[in-house]
Every structure is written in C-alpha cells, then in structure tokens.
Amino acid sequence: MALVGPVSRALAERLSSCRLLVVGAGGIGCELLKNLVLAGFRDIELVDLDTIDVSNLNRQFLFQKKHVGKSKAQVAKESALQFCPEAKITAYHDSIMNPDYNVEFFRQFTLVMNALDNRAARNHVNRMCLAADIPLIESGTAGYLGQVTVIKKGVTECYECQPKPTQKTFPGCTIRNTPSEPIHCIVWAKYLFNQLFGEEDADQEVSPDTADPEAAWELSDAVARAGASNEDGGIKRVSTKDWARSTGYDPVKIFNKLFRDDIKYLLTMDQLWRKRKAPVPLDWTAVERVEMGSSLQQPSASPTGLKDQQVLDVRSYAHLFARSVGHLKARLAEKGDGGELVWDKDDAPAMNFVTAAANLRMHIFSINMKSKFDVKSMAGNIIPAIATTNAVIAGLIVLEGLKILSGNMEQCRTIFLNKQPNPRKKLLVPCTLDPPNASCYVCSIKPEVTVKLNTHRVSVQMLQDRILKDKFGMVAPDVQIEDGKGTILISSEEGETEANNNKNLAEFGIRNGSRLQADDFLQDYTLTVTLLHSEDLEKDVEFEVVGDVPDKASHRLSEEDGKVITNGSDDGAQPSTSRAAEQDDVLIVDSDEEMPSSSGAEGDGESRSLKRKLEEEAGGGGGVKRRCTEQQEEEEDEDVITLD
C-alpha cells in the first residue's frame, strides 16, 4: 500500500479534500486544530464565540498574552496556519446556535468535531448533525478525566440518548435563611453581586425569606406569611440596588445591613434555630475594634501557601468587602444610568466581592471559611483544566476521525481516559459504541416525552423557557396543542403569542393527558409532549420528566463522592452542579467485569450500581454506567496505553 507519511495515499487524499467543522477553540479545540493541520486536513471551518482571557494561556497554546481580548476562533486560525500555511481555515467568531448555521450549513461537511464546554451547545450540535446525517465526534475533559465518542444517526447512541441530571439548585429559603454548606453562602454572594451591581432577578433575592414554611409551626401560618411577603402592606418597597444607590454605595452601611440587621431579623424567626446553631450578627464597628488574638482576628487556617490559597480572618474579609464595593461602585458609575455589571470569575473586584461576602456569611453561620481559590472553583463552576488531558483527548478525536474517513465506522469506539490505570494497567479504555436508544426523545423515529407538572401553576413562559429550551434544548420552539383545533400556544415569530406568556396552561384547556407538538425549525426537530397534571410535586420542583432516571440513580454514589463540588471546565465539562452525584459524562472504567455497554446493563439492579464516578459534561456517552469486557479490551490493544 502506498503511504503518505503514516497514512495510505487514499486516506491522505481524503483528508486533504474533506470539509471539516470544528466547534470550539478552547483547551481541546486548540490542540485539535493543531493536530488536524499536521495530520493533513486542509479544509477546516472553526466556530467559537469566546474571546481570549489571561486564564486561558496556561493550556490553550495557540494563544499568547498579546492575543488577550481577541477572538479565539480568529487567533486559533492564524496560529494554526503557521504550522501549515497551505491549509484553508475559515474562522467564525459566533455562536454555533446562531440560526445562520442551519441544517444546510451542516450538510456541507464530511465530519463534525465538538470541543465545547456547555450542554446547551452540545445538545444543539447533536441535533443538527442528526438532521444533516453527518457523523459527529463528541469529546470533553474534566481535570485528569476525558472521553471521546462517535455519534452517527441510526448507528450509535446520540448525545441525548441517555437523560442527564439537571443542574443542582438550592431552595431559596436555604440560601436566604439557613445556609449549612460553603456553596450556599457562595451562591448567596453571587446573587448579592447581581442585586447590587448587575441585573436584578426576583428569584435571586438575598434578604431573609419571611415565607419560609419551616419558620412557622402551623401550615396556615406559613401560607399567611407567603401571602404577606408578596403584598406591599402599605409600605413602599425598594430594590436592593435602589437602596444601595441611596446610600451612595456606602460599604459600612451595606455591611451592617447584610451582616448585622438581616441576621438579627433572622434570629426573630426563632423556630429556625431550635435544632440549628443560631447565626451570630457582625457589626462593622465591632469588627474594626477587634483586638489581636480574638476569634475574629484568627483565620480558620494558618496563612501558608499561595496568596489565593490562604484563608483570611474576619476583619481582613470585612476590609476586602469594603474595597471591592468601592471598586465595583466606580465601575458601575462609568456605565452611566441604567448600567449593569456582569459577574466574571476572572474579574478581580467581582471575585474579591464574592469571596469576602461569602466568607463573612460563612463565619456568621459557623461554617468553615474558604480561600479565594476554593471560592473561585465553586463560584466559577470550574474543574481545574489539565493541558495534558486536552492533548490526549484531541489526539483521540483525530484517530476516531481517521477511522470514519477510512470507511471503518465499525472500528470506532468510545474511549475513556482515567486518572489512574485500572487493574489491567490500562489508562485508556475503549468501549464498543451503543446502538440508539429506542425511547430517546431526540433521535427515535417519533420523539416523545412525558412531563409531570401542575397545569394551574406552570405558565406558558415557563413551559417555553424552563422546559422546552432549558430541559429539552430547543432554540426557538413553536408549540401547538393537539386539541383538534390546532391551537397555537407558542410561536417563534416575535410578538405573535406574547399575550399567552403569563397565562397558566389550564387556561388553554390543557389538563391531565393533554398532548403538545413542539417544533424547532432550526434544528429540524419535532417533539411530542404529553402532560400529566399533578399537585403532589415536591417543594421547589416545577416539573418532572417521567423516566428521567439519572436524577434518582445519582443518589447511589458514595458519601465521599457526594461531597465533591465541581463543575464544567472551559475544556468540555458542563455546567453546573454542586455535587459529583449530579455530574455526568466521563465515566471511570476501573474493572474488567463483563458489561459491554449501557444497554447491556438494563434490568440488572446490581450491575447498574457498580462503582463508578461521573464527571461533568465531558463527552457524548451520557451519564451511563458502562463497562468493557476482557475480550473487547484484548481486541482493542492497539488503542490502549499500558503502563508497565
């Protein structure tokens, strides 16, 4: 066979002539683009919406300090062309979810490779590739873990074949009244940032929740409080931002309001503290007068290590809070009337504000304080990105692409990169690709899903935003009620059905068993939704997808796993959960027990609870328990790195 470098002449010609779409130019994307041009790919189109940040430079090696603030896609193109000037690379500084990138756009390509960092975009590309019938290579990393898989319509599982758990959320009363973990205080501090400097959101209130049912003995009291909390009672209500503006953003007044007055008010809700340790208010004057050696002066850990890894004392956090308020006040003033700031983990004043506010609240509620490094990891929903992991995964993406272009689709595998070698000393473990899930609400012949909700409480707006867009990944849905009349409930045409938004579903005759047809023209996707009316949903649960298994299965993880707080990295982890139990998509295969695929695990309760660890949003396999047989591993020795 004639060879051109390490590949056959026929394959080399195929590489140079095929059109390739790469989505994402971050940690994986940079390594991937470099690999592609060096492997012989000559016609590549690259899409990424992000700009380059200083924090990217330690692992995204196509970028340099001089590129900070510029388009990732454009700079990645320019850098890759230095490896291979004859390559044709087209860069788009844009979102792949832009309607311009429709099914016809995707049909131009021979192959699509994902290097994304969020679930919404992954879902969208998955659907576009299914509609265009183009092979997709999905990938992701989470720290030392990684995964690559191949998706082909009608041949393999799609990215959404296995339902994934929703992002972990916390009840509002826990955030506002009774925090018990650092993450509760960090979420509160991020809410506070938006209330003071950003876009105000009624769902992100930070003041004590007087409607907390736990604060009242009788159910009637709780209902009365909830009603009273939504009424003005003759008192003019002022937003947090308006109040802060009226004080001139005085840091001392803001401090005393948040950490003294609000806490004193919480203490009047004495039923909350019968079985909990009561919070201890902080007063600015008292903090300032604290003497050396007091409990407020001593940090919860010795100040060793790097600056951002040190836990400071309460007085230091109070001063940091005041300084950051001053910086953010000045920045907000620069934006003029109606200006808003957007919280960014890489913005020093914003990060200092959240670190200080969260730690002051932790101290008040007797929770161990955290370093800025730890707070940033939780607040920014980050798993530390490892450059080597990105490099390994990018290499595996290209290898799977070569198999597809060689016409050897049957040789493609899902490959897991583990943190440690398994008992057979294998760090990379390939698994056979699973066939499509017959009940998948995306790639099955007639996609259907059943949703349980309260039709008297769920509005049309919530159906559109929280269910169809957030949960089921639609971009611009059109919804018709199957009532024999073809009633249009939601239209993607602006203004057509806006009058329906605040009405509840019951007002349109929707009841238990009603069916809706939701169409997304951009994704060429139609979903039939059966609605089950229920008044027995758990507190703070707006709806449930019937058969959404991972949310329940996740509780089988060990207690130790449940304590880990991680989330998607810029290199392919998504986003956002607060416990490893809710994470998905990277699976550590640490055994050679027989279980060739997720489908083979169905119906076996014991095998479904085998030890595994899920990591956030790092590939196409979904949150599935998956094993490889010894025979399969023997067959795939050429794809496995062994450690002697």
Catalytic residues: 173
Residue 140 in tokens: 């992701």
CA distance 453 to 353: 38
Cβ partners under 8 Å of residue 105, min gap 6: none
Determine contact, residues 430/640, Cβ cutoff 8 Å. Answer: yes
Both tokens assigned to 369: 């304080």
Query: Residue 144: which of 418, 391, 414 has the closest Cα?
Result: 418
Q: Which one-letter amino acid corresponds to residue 180?
A: S
Burial class (CB in 10 A: 0-12, 13-18, 19+), 44: buried
Please say whether the dihedral angle defined by the alpha carbons of residues 436, 439, 445 and 449, taken in this order, is positive or negative.
Answer: negative
Give strand pairing partners of 526.
Answer: 519
Phi, psi values for residue 44, rounded to 5°: -125, 135
Helical H segments across 18-60, by residue range: 27-39
Amino acid letter, residue 617: E
Pairing state of beta strands 543-545 and 448-453? antiparallel
CA 632 from centroid of its chain's CA atoms? 33
Helix, strand, coil proportions of the chain in percent (round to 5)? 40, 15, 45
Length of the chain: 644
